[in-house]
């Protein structure tokens, strides 16, 4: 019978967040697959545990994943950990979990620290509906395209960001969503210098344009205000253009018809359609 893959979250800054179940799972697993064994050995030392470890990081998912699967299939149990937080959330693990699913190997996720949930909970932004967008691309064009695809998004949006990209990302967000869009900037969560700033994209972009950011950040951005009832958005226009194109109209004619029927600016709709 196959062994089980346990997804074991680890603290995102405060060792007090280690749970009893997390420690017991690490202790009972036959082996640990770790994003960086040098980081995980410190946690094991803290817990007074000694365990065989294998590396499982983003550059080795194929080869290491196969070796881990074989051991699971042979009946061993494995605890997967990353450097901090929940495995498979912007961290290695997603592919391994999918492969276990395909091959019928049981997966058990232990609940625990996760930066996005911690940030959302403390943000003061609406939590009923949200979208997690992970890290934006390094490349400016791709980053902008990602943000533009979220222009009409009404749900709260959560992003991870590295400090060296923060200033550029905040500037792009302010340009795309507006200077006044509310933002909760969560820095160094659970750590000594934890800081939660409820601000706007414009103010944060201006501040970090001048001051170098330090630490780890989660950005929680308020969703777009819903359109007043009956009003149509550019996205509705783009959907209609797409439909009309499918019916054989040229781009120009589709834009003309959609703009007229939905009461949108023809130039704005054309520019948006061309960008797509």
- Write out the residues near ligand SAM by the rule CB under 6 A: 12-13, 82, 84-86, 89-91, 114-116, 160-162, 186, 188-191, 216-218
Helix (H) or strand (E) holding 109: strand 107-109
Helix (H) or strand (E) holding 269: helix 266-275
Helix (H) or strand (E) holding 136: none
Phi/psi class of residue 255: alpha, beta or left (left: φ > 0; alpha: ψ in -120 to 50)? alpha
Minimum distance of ligand SAM from residue 249's CB (angstroms): 44
Residue where the block lists tokens 């509310």: 182
Query: Rounded distance, CA 6 to CA 134, Å?
Result: 23
Minimum distance of ligand SAM from residue 233's CB (angstroms): 30
> What is each CA distance from 203 to 8, 35, 162, in whole angstroms?
37, 36, 19
Pairing relationship of beta strands 217-221 and 182-187 according to DSSP bridges: antiparallel
Residue where the block lists tokens 């967000």: 173
Q: What is the dihedral of CA 181, 186, 187, 192, to 10 degrees?
A: 150
Minimum distance of ligand SAM from residue 192's CB (angstroms): 11
Minimum distance of ligand SAM from residue 25's CB (angstroms): 16
Minimum distance of ligand SAM from residue 23's CB (angstroms): 18
- Edge-first strand order for the sheet with 182-187 is 130-135, 156-161, 217-221, 182-187, 195-200
Residue 204 or 272: the one with the smaller Cβ distance to ligand SAM is 204
Minimum distance of ligand SAM from residue 218's CB (angstroms): 4
Q: Which residue is nearest to ligand SAM (CB)?
A: 85
Residue 217 or 270: the one with the smaller Cβ distance to ligand SAM is 217
Contact 27, 79 (CB under 8 A): no
Contacts (Cβ under 8 Å, ≥6 apart) of 228:
none
DSSP class of 17: G
Minimum distance of ligand SAM from residue 265's CB (angstroms): 37
Residue 13 or 202: the one with the smaller Cβ distance to ligand SAM is 13
Residue 82 or 238: the one with the smaller Cβ distance to ligand SAM is 82
Residue 187 or 222: the one with the smaller Cβ distance to ligand SAM is 187
Residue 164 or 260: the one with the smaller Cβ distance to ligand SAM is 164
Residue 121 or 162: the one with the smaller Cβ distance to ligand SAM is 162
Contact 188, 255 (CB under 8 A): no
Minimum distance of ligand SAM from residue 235's CB (angstroms): 28
């Amino acid at each position: 019978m196959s062994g089980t893959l346990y997804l074991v979250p680890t603290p995102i800054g405060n060792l007090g967040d280690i749970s009893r179940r997390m420690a017991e799972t690490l202790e009972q697993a036959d082996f640990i697959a770790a994003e960086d064994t040098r980081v995980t050995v410190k946690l094991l030392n803290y817990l007074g545990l000694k365990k065989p470890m294998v590396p499982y990081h983003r550059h080795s998912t194929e080869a290491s994943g196969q070796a881990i699967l074989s051991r699971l299939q042979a009946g061993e149990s494995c605890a997967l950990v990353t450097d901090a937080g929940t495995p498979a959330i912007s961290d290695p693990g997603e592919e391994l979990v999918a492969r276990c699913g395909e091959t019928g190997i049981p997966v058990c996720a232990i609940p625990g620290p996760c930066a996005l949930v911690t940030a959302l909970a403390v943000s003061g932004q609406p939590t009923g509906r949200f979208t997690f967008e992970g890290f934006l691309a390094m490349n400016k064009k791709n980053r902008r395209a990602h943000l533009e695809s979220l222009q009409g998004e009404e749900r709260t949006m959560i992003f991870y960001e590295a400090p060296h990209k923060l200033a550029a990302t905040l500037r792009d967000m302010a340009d795309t969503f507006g200077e006044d869009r509310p933002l909760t900037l969560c820095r160094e969560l659970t750590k000594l210098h934890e800081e939660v700033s409820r601000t706007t994209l414009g103010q944060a972009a201006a501040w970090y344009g001048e001051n170098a950011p330090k630490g780890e950040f989660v950005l929680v951005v308020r969703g777009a205000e819903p359109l007043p009832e009956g009003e149509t958005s550019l996205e509705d226009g783009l959907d209609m253009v797409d439909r009309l194109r499918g019916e054989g109209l040229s781009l120009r004619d589709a834009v003309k018809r959609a703009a007229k029927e939905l009461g949108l600016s023809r130039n704005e709709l054309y520019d948006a359609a061309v960008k797509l």
